[in-house]
């Protein structure tokens, strides 16, 4: 199957600010995820204005989704990440789209 990009969209819990999530993402979530070579890239975007109940969009590309899931669910490094994520995010609001990049035609 090869690399897959997961586009995660979700809402923050009531009372959680974008700044709180931004700090968590920049200081804990992204560095932890990117420290493992299965994760090829990880970008996080805060939604400006009315995102229709979406406050954050994350795009993570991994070389193997099953390998990523096993790592996320079993590596002790992810325990504080998952705990803090659940404190900040309405977990039931998380939607994930699995995507594959379509590169431009280089012949033009």
- Three-class DSSP category at 41: strand
Segment 53-101, tens digit of pLDDT: 789 999 999 999 999 999 999 999 999 999 999 999 999 999 999 998 8
Which CATH code for domain 4-95? 3.30.70.100
> What integer best gives the mean pLDDT of the chain?
93
The SS3 assignment for 16 reads coil
Q: How high is the pLDDT of residue 19?
A: 95
Domain residue spans in the chain?
Answer: 4-95
Distance CA 29, CA 33 (A): 6
Q: Per-residue DSSP letters for 74-108? A: H-GGGHHHHHHHHHHB-GGG-EEEEE---PPPTT-
Position 60 scores a pLDDT of: 97
Instruction: Name the residue with higher pLDDT: 36 or 107.
Output: 36
pTM equals 0.88
Spell out the residues 6+ positions from residue 62 whose beta carbon is closer than 8 angstroms to its own.
Answer: 3, 4, 6, 38, 39, 40, 68
Q: What is the pLDDT of residue 108?
A: 57
């Amino acid at each position: 199957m090869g690399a897959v990009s997961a586009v995660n969209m979700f809402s923050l819990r009531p009372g959680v600010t974008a700044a709180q999530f931004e700090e968590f993402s920049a200081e804990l979530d992204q560095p932890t995820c990117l420290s493992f070579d299965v994760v090829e890239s990880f970008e996080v975007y805060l939604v400006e204005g009315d995102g229709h109940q979406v406050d954050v969009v994350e795009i993570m590309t991994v070389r193997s989704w099953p390998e990523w899931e096993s790592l996320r669910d079993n590596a002790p490094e992810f325990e504080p990440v998952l705990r803090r994520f659940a404190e900040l995010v309405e977990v039931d609001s998380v939607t994930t789209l699995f995507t594959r990049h379509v590169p431009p035609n280089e012949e033009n």
